[in-house]
Structure 1
Amino acid sequence: MRLAYIFLGTLSLILAAAGAVLPLLPTVPFVLLAAFFFARGHPPLEAWLVRHPRFGPHIVAWRSRGAISRRGKRAALLAFAISAATGLVFAPLPWSLVPLAAAAIGGSWIWTRPEA
């Protein structure tokens, strides 16, 4: 099981790295997921992530208070809005309502999280 956690943590970090350069792919949620998997499979890597100057504060804020930074909230809500608008413009009904529903549900959940 330990190897599975290490694999999933590594995959999450790869997705986080891709999110750092690709628009609309989030970075911090994948870093949080990597920290979760590494805590179970490779504690030294988890400790490195928690001490990381860029990602560590996000991990600590999420673990301690379930908090998301204001900038992170804005970025996520903007990505949801763009995805919903794109779906409404390019997808036929009823499929165009799927991104709109995802944006409403996911966006409202993010909006209600405490701010870091």
Structure 2
Amino acid sequence: MRKAAVRLLWRALAVLSVVLAVLGTVLPVMPTVPFLIMAAWAGGKGWPALETWLLEHAHFGPHIRDWRARGAVPRRAKWLATVMMMGSATMMQFTPLPLYVRIGVPAVMAAVAVWLWRRPEP
């Protein structure tokens, strides 16, 4: 009984990740591939067929396999993420958010950008 419940939770996380990835295909602020990587990871724990499907997917499979093998991120994705973060940080400066948010969030984005650019490329 407990094993079935744990498998169901892994599947729920995998489905939620796929749903967020699908949203990422239409919303410019949501990433797609990171959620698919998480879906493949969760699927590997509770839904092997979903994991296999994601790993063999013609478009997203190579990105997931590169991440698993070497933690690699394509240069195009690095540029896109960096430009999107810079755009978000710039737009945030023109909002009535508290100063600590307008400084803190871009600082976190800058740290993420540094981490991202330190990742190997496929």
Bin the TM-score by the shorter chain: over 0.9
How far apart, in 2, do the equivalents of 1:83 and 1:3 lie? 36
Instruction: Between 86-95 and 16-25, report the one with greater CA deviation.
Output: 86-95
Q: Report if the CA contact (8 A) 1:73-1:111 is conserved.
A: yes
Q: Which runs of 5+ in 1 are unaligned?
A: none
1:42-100 Cα distance to aligned partner (Å, 9 max, x none): 11110010000011000110000100011111111111111211222213312211221
Among 107, 110, 115, the residue aligned to 2:116: 110
Q: Name the structure 1 match of 2:28.
A: 23
Superposition deviation, residue 110 in structure 1: 0.5
CA RMSD of aligned residues (A): 0.9
Among 63, 70, 85, the residue aligned to 2:90: 85
* Percent sequence identity over aligned pairs: 43
Question: Structure 1 residue runs of 4+, over 4 Å off?
Answer: none
How far apart, in 1, do the equivalents of 2:79 and 2:72 lie? 13
**CA radius of gyration, larger in:** 2
Superposition deviation, residue 6 in structure 1: 0.2
TM-score (norm 1): 0.95
How far apart, in 2, do the equivalents of 1:25 and 1:115 lie? 22
Q: 1:96 and 2:102 equivalent?
A: yes
Aligned pairs, number: 116
